[in-house]
Chains A and B, each alone.
Chain A
Amino acid sequence: MRTDALLVCASLACLTALPAAPARAEEDPAPPVALRAVSPDGSVLGPCPLEHTDVRVEISGYVARTRVTHRFANPYDEPIEALYTFPLPEGAAVRDMEMQVGERLVRAEIRRRQAAREEYEAARRSGQTASLLDQERPNIFTTSVANVRPGVPIRVTLEYVETLPYEDGVRRLVFPMTVGPRYVPGTPTGHAGPGWSPDTTRVPDASRITPPTAPPRRSGHDIAVAIDLDAGVEMGPPRSPTHDVHVRRIDARRAHVELAQHDRVPNRDLVLEWPVSPERIASGVLAHRPDEDTDGYLTLLLQPNASPPPAEITPKEIVFVMDTSGSMNGPPMAHSRALMGRLIRDLHPQDSFAVLRYDTATSALSPLPLENTPANRRRALAFIDGLEGSGGTDALAGLRAAFAYPRDPSKLRIVVFLTDGYIGNEREILDEIQRRIGAARLFSFGVGSSVNRYLLEEMAREGRGDAAIVTLRDAPEEQVTAFYKRLQSPYLTDIEVDWGGLAVDRRFPERIPDLFAGQPLEVHARYRRAGRGTVRVRGRLAGRPFEQTLEVELPAVEEQNAAVASIWARERIAEVERSMHGGTDEAREEELVQVALDHRLMSRLTSFVAVEHRVVAAEDAREPGRTVTVPVEMPEGVNPRTAFGSSLSLARFQPGDPELRVEAPATARAVTALFPFGETKALRWEPRLGRWTTRFLVPRGTPEGNYAITILIHLADGTQERLERPYTVDASGPEVELDALDPVRAGATVRLRARQRFTAADRALHRGRRVTILSDVARLRVTTDGGERVALRLVEPGVWEGELAVPEDARGELELRVTAHDVAGNRGETTVTLPVAARAEDPARVARSEAQVDATGLGEGAP
């Protein structure tokens, strides 16, 4: 069978296997081969060497101390370097690391980042086993382990402490397990790290925060989690809404929790919750001061002791800003729709609202906020129902649109930001909020298995709001209810702390956010002298003055509660980071480094390094050990196909006989393509093209799916290069949904809009891949039963529009046949029935409507 090789050749321009050719980050990032880790130059490095992760957590009250151990093994017959990018809680203060090689235990040292890297590289070159822990983001870390010997496992253990949030009577532990794929805006500038994305002008370290992903259940490593929980007070039964866990109660305050054996694939965050009655939360101060000559640190915990009075509700103007990027497609979008639907339905009569959506463009339901009327609610709900995830994530544009949106000064503006946070330019977003939040509040609502909690919580912090995370396994109703209660009206606002003359400074948070019912106040500070005093917490409780006092003693020496110092240092480092607004400031960076070194903490500018002083790889100096980047699981529920925007896959075709072109020197001895099932093709040099080419057969019976061609280039000097080029075989027709944008009236022209609906077959085809196909529909045609035909045109990724003349004699219903062809030539067909308004003056029901709003021009027409 000879397909149209011309089209296939043109479509397969990407099959030109180029060694490390840069591309725009938004388009076709080099996808991994399923199950294998891929180096930045596209060569396959091998299987995942991370065998197991062991997590031990000790919880004492509201502080958790966690030890995470990664066990690496080398499946090759020569030493390798392992690179593993993984998440930790964004508030984690990472304060220790050790490396065990066989029986030898090496404790890591904290160094300036550059110095740690140099020490590590020197050890690697000299054949020593070494490990390096770098922080890429406050919640993303990379472990590098050099010279992992065959047959000798290496364990790298790190330790961190954090405080655990408490709200609505529940204290919660969250352990993140995988790094979600990130949309990386900007123009590529290079590729310094092992990740799939190049570094860009807007995300300079993108290559270090985008680890390769593996198909679910196929990365080859699992995780064990054991938690010793001491709530400090009587608690209810611990439970996990995300995983199956075994809980063994020791007494009313303590329990031991373990992850169930069958639920150990690290593809979604682990959440553990345990109820603690607010009355049992004691107010007080925890202090630590190792000796009289050093600084002391404290954590103030205060539980408001007043019950909320009957509601005195301030009218609110809620602006919903919904992420409709590709990574939201599927369950995250469904959850977001459910949340918004619930919020809209439960608005107070005097509230007003607006709905904005964004991916790489923004638009709004209406140019002005809508009053809370049944008709407007229906309109909003219909709008929300029509939203689909597609495109990249330009959250900054969404934020700017929200801040620029016309407002009613008589109402409290609350921005509700719904997203999964799979973006890389967090700094820009947080700076924008800091600059423009004004008197408004911002609440962030995260949906997904591994949302960017750091970003969401920082957004809420900057916006003096709150953050809520809904995993895909949560029943959204519960989360929505809790979230909406906070949204209704903050409980304790404008909070200030009077330290009563105590020698306390460097307090965090500097700007204390509003508290909600049942939520305790938590402040971390440093103290220089011992002392005793009365601490007063003042604020407004439902609009009325509030004050609560606490007698506090700051000890001269207190060796317990060392975690308090680490937590303070972590807050201090975060505060210094924020003060730099994403830029550089030598003095502040030096201050940050000093805090981190003094407290032995990981930071952006400090790293842990451990070196075993014994050489392991003396042979083959010409061939240093290969580097293997460990792939991470794609978070549950994320459709890898739509996670990254609107680029079309260029290696997708029906069974047939496409052409392969390879860039290699004309003097190469041989260029060979190895196809699945072992077929080998010798490529030949074509001087006019300047390429090595061959064409190959994709047999008819080839199952749909992703395949890879291995290309061996034997150069004239005897060296050999290896490249991998994936391709996709697709034999399923696309499915589309069609709507009318105008009333359908006989004799009128109606605008039609169609969107591709991704099917289970589409998702299966791209499971495990990061290259996404927003829309692969190449042609779309609508035909009436009377034979009227119109071809729709592509107006934006995944959206097609056209105009159809409705027959004069159309009555009752208009049946339309929608035929779609994808880029591989598959055809799909569906029938849509639209109601026809009998007379022109009849108000026909509008299926969808949407107003395009320019984000910079929203100020016009403000009330």
Chain B
Amino acid sequence: MSEAALWLAVASVLTGTGDVRAVLPVEGGAWVGTTGGLVRLEGERERVLGTREGLPHGSVRALLREGDGIVAGTDGGVAWLDGRSGAVRATRRTAAPVHALVRHEGALFVGTGAGLFRVHGDIADGPRGALERVGEVERVQALASTTHGLFVGTAGEHLHLWQGGRWRRLWGPRFVWAMEVEGDTVWLATADGLRRYEGARRVRTAAERTLPEALPVRDLRAVRRVGESLIVGSWGGGVHRWDGDRWVAAPEAGERVQAMAVRGGEVFVGTPEGLRRIGGDGAVARVGGGLPSNDLSALARTGEGLWIGTFDRGLALRRPDGSLELFDEARGLLDDRVNRLAVDAEGDLWVATDRGLVERVGGRFRLRGFLDEHVFFVAAVGEAVVAAAEGKLWRWEGERWAPFDAVPGARPQDAAPMGRSLVVGSAEGLALDTGRGWLHLTAEDGLPDEWVTAVAVWRGELLVGTYNGGLARLGAEGVELLAPGVWVNAGALVSVGSEDGAYVALGSLGEGLWLLDGDELQRLGVTEGLPDEDVTALLPDGEGGLWAATRGGLAHLTPP
């Protein structure tokens, strides 16, 4: 990798902060963990912290107050932050997302999908040493510190109690999402409803017995004690409060509860659609915004602005003034699962979804075919529009789709024009239309892997990205491997800049963004400010820069 060349740097990141996973009320505001960053709410102001600010990952699932600072659990590790400035003081990386944090017996315990860890040291002095694995339990979702020991709730592995260095499996509910400690009592929010433990003993309560009758959904994700009341939040049934005799629904609290916190008489409810605050006076305030999802899948630009496709939350249009407009199934888009975007010669947007293909015409989305079919990609090839559906390659003939004849290979992944020819990458190699028939290239012909996920033309030569064989260049002298072993995301291969000074940008699965100049290479990942290491789509910005869609949000990269 070249250290001298620095072609691009992350200039800005756009995420969505509506998917709230953790809430920590503080004086004058709250810290909110979302999949699009850690949000600091101060009155009406919001400030979003992400990887550019030093977080190990932008998706924050757990928060813990420690003195005047906070500890944030993210998908990439733990971060210790100054409570006022939000500056990251220290981090420790984890192999799996962090779901829970608690201080117990002087150490910080970190619950992750890959197990339970602990580290000593406090917020003032910072963590000492590395994270140390504790026990063999996995899929940790919730932690609670009590005088009887540390309760460890898991997703599918039941409940455990860590007592004096020894483990005890309490069995009981398989999925424990959250816990609330009240003296010797531990309340569990589980997929089977509410549970109460006194020490290691399960105790049945009236609130629990009436649960199946009173609550529409028993999959509880949060439980809190508020004064004399007990409040639970469920996945699909909203928030309910126990008044001693029955469960009372909290209105407009959102249906799918992912997190809950209490401050005084206020209850903060985190949902996939944002943060809601149920005040003492019953008022509801909604917080959250940005992109509809941080799991992005496609990019395109039309006269209306920058189009951003998401994995399963529809489409966002970022207008030149920076405002965002969202489109999903409820707002005219055929399907929320966007696979690819393309812009035809007339400047119209085409959207390939899991349930068909649409074109945006006159401000509306019109069905253009393959209703209820999975459309893997759509691409503009010169004057034509091609799409992959039903395992075949098709071309749009104005009123209908016509299949290409006898294209070798199967399951087309990407297509690009090369001169007057069409190049098609598929799960079974590369096909080139020579004008007199198709030429089929496979691993036997030197391709690093037969699963070709992306094709692009650069400096008159064909670039071929593969699933796990890396990036190759096909030239007059044969196949040359430019970047061995990297997994190239489907369609995530573009040439950037002018012909003379052009380089290639490659979006990889798990290894960030790659920029190649044939001789030189630059790699950017989370450390360099990308929101995620999975780069799913790329779009030159026309000014020497690049938009990069990732699974953690959208990055704009510009020359430094």
The reply to whether chain A is a binding partner of chain B is yes
Are A672 and B236 CB-contacts (below 8 A) given A1-B509, A1-B536, A677-B155?
yes
- B97-121: which have CB < 8 Å to A? 97, 99, 113-114
A829 with B219: CB separation less than 8 A: no
Q: How far is the CB of A118 from chain B (nearest CB, A)?
A: 31
Q: Nearest chain-B residue to A620 (Cβ)? A: B209
**Once the chains are docked, how many angstroms separate the CA of A779 from the CA of B372?**
28
Are A5 and B374 CB-contacts (below 8 A) given A669-B236, A825-B451?
yes
Q: Which of A654, A659, A689, A714 has the most CB of B within 10 A?
A: A714
Kindly state whether residue B187 has any CB partner on chain A within 8 Å. Answer: no
Determine the chain A residues whose CB is within 8 A of the CB of B449 once the complex forms. Answer: 827
**Once the chains are docked, how many angstroms separate the CA of A710 from the CA of B491?**
32
Kindly state whether residue B460 has any CB partner on chain A within 8 Å. Answer: no
Q: Which of A677, A697, A779 has the most CB of B within 10 A?
A: A677
B236 with A670: CB separation less than 8 A: yes
B236 with A819: CB separation less than 8 A: no
Determine the chain B residues whose CB is within 8 A of the CB of A718 once the complex forms. Answer: 212-213, 215-216, 218
B509 with A720: CB separation less than 8 A: no
Kindly state whether residue A851 has any CB partner on chain B within 8 Å. Answer: no
- B297-331: which have CB < 8 Å to A? 297, 311-312
Q: How far is the CB of A699 from chain B (nearest CB, A)?
A: 8
Q: Is the interface of B mostly helix, strand, loop or mixed?
A: loop
A783 with B444: CB separation less than 8 A: yes
Kindly state whether residue A387 has any CB partner on chain B within 8 Å. Answer: no
Q: Nearest chain-B residue to A47 (Cβ)? A: B171
Determine the chain B residues whose CB is within 8 A of the CB of A819 once the complex forms. Answer: 442-444
Kindly state whether residue B8 has any CB partner on chain A within 8 Å. Answer: no
**Once the chains are docked, how many angstroms separate the CA of A47 from the CA of B372?**
41
Kindly state whether residue A817 has any CB partner on chain B within 8 Å. Answer: yes
* Chain B proximity mask over A1-42: 1 for CB below 8 Å, otherwise 0: 111111101000000000000000000000000000000000
**Once the chains are docked, how many angstroms separate the CA of A830 from the CA of B556?**
45
* Chain B proximity mask over A665-686: 1 for CB below 8 Å, otherwise 0: 0000110101011101010001
- B413-440: which have CB < 8 Å to A? 413, 427-428
* Chain A proximity mask over B501-535: 1 for CB below 8 Å, otherwise 0: 00000000110000000000000000000000010
Kindly state whether residue A262 has any CB partner on chain B within 8 Å. Answer: no
A672 with B235: CB separation less than 8 A: yes
A1 with B237: CB separation less than 8 A: no
Are A682 and B235 CB-contacts (below 8 A) given A2-B490, A6-B390, A720-B218?
yes
Determine the chain B residues whose CB is within 8 A of the CB of A821 once the complex forms. Answer: 428, 450
Kindly state whether residue A544 has any CB partner on chain B within 8 Å. Answer: no
**Once the chains are docked, how many angstroms separate the CA of A829 from the CA of B469?**
14
* Chain B proximity mask over A824-852: 1 for CB below 8 Å, otherwise 0: 01010100000000000000000000000
**Once the chains are docked, how many angstroms separate the CA of A7 from the CA of B256?**
32
Q: Nearest chain-A residue to B138 (Cβ)? A: A677
Kindly state whether residue B202 has any CB partner on chain A within 8 Å. Answer: yes
Determine the chain A residues whose CB is within 8 A of the CB of B171 once the complex forms. Answer: 46-47, 75-77
Determine the chain B residues whose CB is within 8 A of the CB of A789 once the complex forms. Answer: 444
Kindly state whether residue A701 has any CB partner on chain B within 8 Å. Answer: yes
Are A672 and B411 CB-contacts (below 8 A) given A6-B391, A827-B443?
no
Across the interface, A2 reaches (CB within 8 A) one of B96, B113, B510, B536, namely B536
B354 with A5: CB separation less than 8 A: yes
B376 with A2: CB separation less than 8 A: yes
Determine the chain B residues whose CB is within 8 A of the CB of A6 once the complex forms. Answer: 373-374, 376, 389-391, 411
Determine the chain B residues whose CB is within 8 A of the CB of A710 once the complex forms. Answer: 156, 174-175, 191
Determine the chain A residues whose CB is within 8 A of the CB of B451 once the complex forms. Answer: 825, 827
Are A829 and B443 CB-contacts (below 8 A) given A1-B534, A678-B113, A712-B191?
yes
Q: Nearest chain-A residue to B175 (Cβ)? A: A674
Across the interface, A77 reaches (CB within 8 A) one of B202, B374, B411, B427, namely B202
* Chain A proximity mask over B201-237: 1 for CB below 8 Å, otherwise 0: 0100000000011011111000000000000000111
Determine the chain A residues whose CB is within 8 A of the CB of B293 once the complex forms. Answer: none
Determine the chain B residues whose CB is within 8 A of the CB of A240 once the complex forms. Answer: none
Kindly state whether residue B337 has any CB partner on chain A within 8 Å. Answer: yes
Q: Nearest chain-B residue to A716 (Cβ)? A: B216
B536 with A669: CB separation less than 8 A: no
Determine the chain B residues whose CB is within 8 A of the CB of A678 once the complex forms. Answer: 97, 99, 113, 139, 141, 155
Across the interface, B237 reaches (CB within 8 A) one of A659, A694, A714, A719, namely A714
Kindly state whether residue A435 has any CB partner on chain B within 8 Å. Answer: no
Instruction: Give the A interface residue count (CB, 8 A).
Output: 51
**Once the chains are docked, how many angstroms separate the CA of A719 from the CA of B96?**
33
**Once the chains are docked, how many angstroms separate the CA of A799 from the CA of B427?**
23
Are A674 and B156 CB-contacts (below 8 A) given A47-B171, A821-B450?
yes
A682 with B202: CB separation less than 8 A: no
A670 with B237: CB separation less than 8 A: yes
- B476-518: which have CB < 8 Å to A? 487, 489-491, 509-510
Determine the chain B residues whose CB is within 8 A of the CB of A654 once the complex forms. Answer: 467
Determine the chain A residues whose CB is within 8 A of the CB of B155 once the complex forms. Answer: 674, 676-678
**Once the chains are docked, how many angstroms separate the CA of A484 from the CA of B113?**
57
- A560-590: which have CB < 8 Å to B? none
B536 with A670: CB separation less than 8 A: no
B354 with A4: CB separation less than 8 A: no
B212 with A689: CB separation less than 8 A: no
A712 with B219: CB separation less than 8 A: yes
Kindly state whether residue A104 has any CB partner on chain B within 8 Å. Answer: no
Are A670 and B411 CB-contacts (below 8 A) given A1-B487, A1-B489, A2-B536?
no
Q: How far is the CB of A238 from chain B (nearest CB, A)?
A: 39
* Chain A proximity mask over B228-252: 1 for CB below 8 Å, otherwise 0: 0000000111000000000000000
Q: Nearest chain-A residue to B155 (Cβ)? A: A678
Q: Nearest chain-A residue to B445 (Cβ)? A: A787
Kindly state whether residue A695 has any CB partner on chain B within 8 Å. Answer: yes
Determine the chain A residues whose CB is within 8 A of the CB of B17 once the complex forms. Answer: none
Q: How far is the CB of B248 from chain A (nearest CB, A)?
A: 16
* Chain A proximity mask over B444-458: 1 for CB below 8 Å, otherwise 0: 100001110100000
Kindly state whether residue A522 has any CB partner on chain B within 8 Å. Answer: no
- A98-116: which have CB < 8 Å to B? none
A677 with B113: CB separation less than 8 A: yes
Q: How far is the CB of B140 from chain A (nearest CB, A)?
A: 8
A677 with B139: CB separation less than 8 A: yes
Determine the chain B residues whose CB is within 8 A of the CB of A1 once the complex forms. Answer: 453, 467, 487, 489-490, 509, 534, 536
**Once the chains are docked, how many angstroms separate the CA of A767 from the CA of B297?**
35
Kindly state whether residue B91 has any CB partner on chain A within 8 Å. Answer: no
Determine the chain A residues whose CB is within 8 A of the CB of B428 once the complex forms. Answer: 779, 821
Determine the chain B residues whose CB is within 8 A of the CB of A694 once the complex forms. Answer: 312
**Once the chains are docked, how many angstroms separate the CA of A700 from the CA of B96?**
13
Kindly state whether residue A657 has any CB partner on chain B within 8 Å. Answer: yes
Determine the chain A residues whose CB is within 8 A of the CB of B391 once the complex forms. Answer: 6-7
Kindly state whether residue B172 has any CB partner on chain A within 8 Å. Answer: yes
Determine the chain A residues whose CB is within 8 A of the CB of B113 once the complex forms. Answer: 676-678
Q: How far is the CB of B560 from chain A (nearest CB, A)?
A: 29
Binding site for A on B (CB under 8 A): 96-97, 99, 113-114, 139, 141, 155-156, 169, 171-172, 174-175, 191-192, 202, 212-213, 215-219, 235-237, 255-256, 272, 295, 297, 311-312, 337, 339, 354-355, 372-374, 376, 389-391, 411, 413, 427-428, 442-444, 449-451, 453, 467, 487, 489-491, 509-510, 534, 536, 551
Q: Could you list 14 A-B pairs, sorted by A, with CB under 8 Å?
A: A4-B376, A4-B411, A4-B413, A75-B171, A654-B467, A669-B217, A669-B237, A674-B155, A674-B175, A689-B372, A697-B551, A714-B219, A714-B237, A779-B428
**What 7 A-B pairs have minimum CB-CB distances, sorted nearest first?**
A670-B236, A677-B113, A678-B155, A1-B509, A6-B374, A75-B171, A4-B411
List 14 additional A-B contacts (Cβ < 8 Å) besides A77-B202, A676-B156, A720-B218: A4-B413, A77-B171, A654-B467, A677-B113, A678-B139, A678-B155, A680-B235, A688-B372, A697-B295, A700-B509, A714-B218, A718-B213, A789-B444, A829-B443
Binding site for B on A (CB under 8 A): 1-7, 9, 44, 46-47, 75-77, 654, 657, 659, 669-670, 672, 674, 676-678, 680, 682, 686, 688-689, 694-695, 697, 699-701, 708, 710, 712, 714, 718-720, 779, 783, 789, 817, 819, 821, 825, 827, 829
